[in-house]
Amino acid sequence: MQRPPVLEEVKDRYYLSVTIKHIEKMNVLHILNGDSTAESFKDTGFEGEVMVWREVLSEGPVSEDLVSAQFWQNRSEWISEAFNETPDNYQQSVLNELARLDGAFDEINLWFEYDLHCQVNMLGVMNYLKRKTDLSGPAIFLICPSDYPGKENFGGMGELNGEELEYLYDTIRTELSEIDFIIAAEAWSIYVSHDAEKLKSYLNSTHFWGSLHCLKAALAAHLKRLTLNKKGLNAIEQKLLDIYQYGYHTWPEILSVFWQTEKIYGMGDMEVDLYLQRLLRRGLVKLSGQ
């Protein structure tokens, strides 16, 4: 039976009203873990603003108060020295992006991976949001892949195309709860302490990680960085020395072998080089061509 025209008109107005309200209320922000992911993200059908997180909180000085000017001043100075950057570039690539978090959003999506580099950055973002944002407002989601179907040697979201990123969004996106932010605050406090015994105790005594399912493994990798062997080397430095002693004496060779087995750290070439330079200064390695 055909509906009366007046009912059809009412129905059309109702769905139009719902659609308009939905569009108006959904102010979305996607926080991406790096520029490689951002490049592929352009090919997705996602709407909303995009912020690229370019910090490396897994290296260098960090403290509990992420919203203080001193925190970011210390970061700028360290990044400039360690990676031969300039304060102006840091302002543009990091601090200007960070200012996006001061906006009002209905939904925030955090795109971070399983490795230590990403997990520490994720903790930084979550703690920054907790201190700067009324968390009763935006719905905050985490997209955190540790693998991808059909990709045996999954190297991260930067190697995925737009369609594959959409798949992650549809299948593993998880809304973060208040307990997740409590866990993130506890983990951040432990992380910035740089105390191996405190971290070891925390890992042994914590059995519930909420939706932060990759955090424990990443922090366990960090514990290896904090623990020194009889040579005074941490796990990363010892691994690099082992690779060198196996007969790999060029910088590209050492990096390639390191990445094959130490993906948990999520390091880029400049980060690995920080550890390699320590070995060079101690005279434990001598790279070919240098």
Q: Rounded to 5 degrees, what angle do the CA atoms 193, 226, 85 make?
A: 80
Q: What is the largest CA-CA distance in the chain?
A: 88
In this structure, is residue 286 part of a structural domain?
no
Same domain, 209 and 234: no
Same domain, 195 and 270: no
In this structure, is residue 288 part of a structural domain?
no
Q: What is the pLDDT of residue 103?
A: 84
The range of the structural domain enclosing residue 262 comes to 228-281
Confidence category of residue 25, pLDDT binned at 50, 70, 90: low
Q: Which residues are 108's β-sheet partners?
A: 29, 140
Same domain, 107 and 239: no
Q: What is the mean pLDDT of the chain?
A: 90
**Total count of domains within the chain:** 2
Q: From its phi and psi, is residue 150 left (phi > 0), alpha (psi between -120 and 50) or beta? A: left
Same domain, 256 and 170: no
Residue whose pair of structure tokens reads 């995925």 in the numeric block: 160
In this structure, is residue 39 part of a structural domain?
yes
**CB contact set of 160 (below 8 Å; sequence gap of 6+):** 37, 40, 148, 168
| pLDDT tens digits along 26-80 | 899 999 999 999 999 999 999 999 999 999 999 999 999 999 999 999 999 999 9
In this structure, is residue 50 part of a structural domain?
yes
Separation CA 97–CA 50 (nearest Å): 9
Same domain, 69 and 192: yes
Of 217, 248, 266, at which residue does a domain stop? 217
Separation CA 5–CA 53 (nearest Å): 53
Same domain, 151 and 269: no
Same domain, 131 and 188: yes
| pLDDT tens digits along 209-230 | 999 999 999 999 999 999 999 9
Same domain, 106 and 209: yes
Q: What is the pLDDT of residue 290?
A: 57
Of 217, 248, 270, at which residue does a domain stop? 217
Same domain, 271 and 136: no
Q: Which of 98-107, 143-152, 180-189 has the lowest mean pLDDT?
A: 98-107
Same domain, 242 and 202: no
Extract the tokens encoding 21: 């309200």
| pLDDT tens digits along 79-122 | 999 999 999 999 999 999 999 888 889 999 999 999 999 999 99
